[in-house]
Structure 1
Amino acid sequence: MTPTATNGFQRLLLSLGLSMSLACMLWAPSVGQAAASPRETDQDNTIRIYKKVAPTTVFITAAFASANPAAGPPGSSIGAGLVWSEQGLILTNAHVVEGASRILVHLYGGTRLPAEVVGSDAATDLALLRVVLPKEHRAAAILGDSDHLEIGQKVLAIGHPFGLGYALTTGIISGMGAGPESATLIHDPVIQTSAPINPGNSGGPLVDQEGRVIGINTTILAGAQNIGFAIPISLVKGVVGELQARGRVVRPWLGITGKLLSDDIIDLFALPLAKGVLIAGVAKGSPAEKVGLRAGDLPIVVKGDPLVLGGDILLAVNGQDLRTPEQYATVFRSLKVGQTISMKILRDGTYRTVTATLEERPSQPDPTAPARGPEKVEFRPLDWRGLPLRLAGPETIF
């Protein structure tokens, strides 16, 4: 190869090298941009969901008449709510409006409307209100499905933390299981979420990545970081239907409190125990009292968990065992008010069969019922008034 040809070939290689280097420099930012696009897409989706859902939520203020005006000014409460239907039905938590003398619903656009209570259910902490919506208001919640949720699924919560307005927080579904007092009455798992919720979020929606409501925010775990609970929308739908029809939820009532005995507890004592519900209390005037079911009379504490020994152990209802929480929940859901049930019990080492006719659960707890043991963990409803709403410990209520 001649020197002229060699020099020309070297210049060609140098030109190609510079071109490739320049291409790499230009291409590198595009890689970074491509990697950032999923984050931008997720952010855009969050913004879209907020704009879609926020107009279907409301801010609720409630005033409470003072029984003793001399003791101080009347109390007040704030919370969030959901426009359940275009006919003016508003859903919120029962503890936000319970006992209120005046309730105002503030729409997303700023309109304030007086509200009346259609019905409430303390067991699920749900209340249904009614307002007269302006004719131009057409926003209502889109309901999702809470029966097929996955732990790790992204969720968003909208509410009014400490009255600061339509605030959005994000998180994931961090668990499904027992939570507040409602779990002991309705025997359904609640949604546990890491989305931060605070006083003022009560009654607001928990939504999925499509803006569909999958739960109603209700409770936080006191002293913990970002552990909140929401009532599954599949349960909410049934409760709302009953509140619309009757103003209350009708549930069967035997009139006992107690705890399911575990193998560990049974093995600790040289007593005639068996897997079932150890009855700790029997409500006065209840079907359980009428047929002679016995409550325990020996309170003890095992590893910080209170028990009351000496009572009957309810082993089965209508031939169905009550050995596990799942079995108990299945039996409870199958029962109706007015139904006569056959119960297998263990008393003083002897198996017996007792029948009772179930009544409707009273709307208010029996004031003569025995006090419940201290909770191992305090579940705190999001009550703006700061009232210590006492929640049940790990008891079974039937």
Structure 2
Amino acid sequence: MSSPKLLLHPVSFLFILAAAAVAKTGIAQDGAQKAPPLLPPVNDVAIRASFEKKVTALMEDGKTADVAELLKGLQSKKVPDGTAFASPGEPQFLPESELYRRARKATLIFGRVYQCDRCDRWHGSNAGAVLIHPSGIAVTNYHVMDHKDSGAFAGMDSDGNVYPVAEILAASKRDDLAIVRLVKSENGADFPYMPLSTGDPIGTDVLVISHPDGRYYTLSEGIIARYFIDPKARTNRVQITADYAKGSSGSGVFNERGELTGVVAATSSIYYDQQKGVQKNLQMVVKSCIPVQSVRALFGK
């Protein structure tokens, strides 16, 4: 018996050709773009080594700021007049994958190199920072900058480019914030950045991009859980449910519009009881961040 033949109506044949064309161009039939290509895996060990090597090289070439002079900027309570941050534009809710891509480009591996008391090698200590203006202005924590034993401070972007910290524009120990300016690249290109939110209500969905214990560019999500007064610092804090851990200080908390709404600061653990001086039965880890209003205050806004 002869095998059956597949007969196509001319219109059906044209439909198949159109579908093939759609597949080739990467546009779905409903007009939506295909998902963006996957980012390459993060090599944490290589990034850590690169930060140490590149920052040390810049320091030894005399291309980093004198640390003693740099840290005098921690006494500045307000950025110089005329210094700006990027304000939000028209509200635009972004898919999480696109928000991550944009925020990642503005997120720095930020920190210093220092020498220990056991060898002559320069070691890296990493945290986070977020670029908030194309001129290279970034925000991080006060405690990230407050290290007199450092050889140099710098930020490294997601492409591996390293930029020395030129100056500390303003800082607040109470609010655990520091506003810094990075040295631009030789070609003078603008930095990618994220605008500052004007503030977001409790329940707002947020994303955090941080470097927990050297696990660079980790994405976590949650909500704004509450605003509260820190009992020790006696200043405003915002509690979120998105995860982060040590090494994430200075990293950004972003809303769905792609705006910076907070800065990672600290965690505190709640245990059910204590036995013989040892806390037992961990119940909750509270994530405390600096609200964007405190960042704006350093700009006099």
TM-score, length-scaled by structure 2:
0.57
Work out which of the residue numbers 288, 292, 295 in structure 2 matches 1:229: 288
SS in 2 for 1:115: strand
What is the match of residue 362 of structure 1? none
Compared CA separation, residues 49 and 128, structure 1 to 2 (3 A): same
Alpha-carbon contact 2:139-2:180 (below 8 Å) kept:
yes
What is the match of residue 169 of structure 1? 220
TM-score, length-scaled by structure 1:
0.44
**Alignment of 1:197 onto 2:244:** yes
What is the match of residue 218 of structure 1? 265
Matches within 5 A, 1:144-163: 144-146=197-199, 149-163=200-214
Work out which of the residue numbers 90, 99, 113 in structure 1 matches 2:138: 90
Larger Rg computed on CA atoms = 1
Higher relative contact order (CA 8 A, sep 6+): 2
Alpha-carbon contact 1:221-1:228 (below 8 Å) kept:
yes
**Equivalents in 2 of 1:95, 1:215: separation in Å?**
16
Matches within 5 A, 1:95-134: 95-99=143-147, 100-118=150-168, 119-134=170-185
Amino acid at match of 2:252: P
CA-CA distance at 1:86 after TM superposition:
1.7
What is the match of residue 39 of structure 2? none
Compared CA separation, residues 155 and 47, structure 1 to 2 (3 A): same
What is the match of residue 56 of structure 1? 106
SS in 1 for 2:284: coil
**Equivalents in 2 of 1:180, 1:117: separation in Å?**
31
Matches within 5 A, 1:18-57: 45-57=95-107
Give the number of equivalent residue pairs: 193
Matches within 5 A, 1:1-398: 45-65=95-115, 69=117, 77-99=125-147, 100-118=150-168, 119-134=170-185, 135-146=188-199, 149-179=200-230, 181-182=232-233, 184=234, 187=235, 189-223=236-270, 225-240=284-299
Amino acid at match of 1:83: L
SS in 2 for 1:227: strand
CA-CA distance at 1:117 after TM superposition:
4.0
**Equivalents in 1 of 2:146, 2:173: separation in Å?**
9
CA-CA distance at 1:197 after TM superposition:
1.2
CA-CA distance at 1:174 after TM superposition:
1.2
For residues 357-382 of structure 1, the C-alpha deviation after alignment (integer angstroms, 9 at most, x for no partner) is xxxxxxxxxxxxxxxxxxxxxxxxxx
Alpha-carbon contact 1:93-1:202 (below 8 Å) kept:
yes
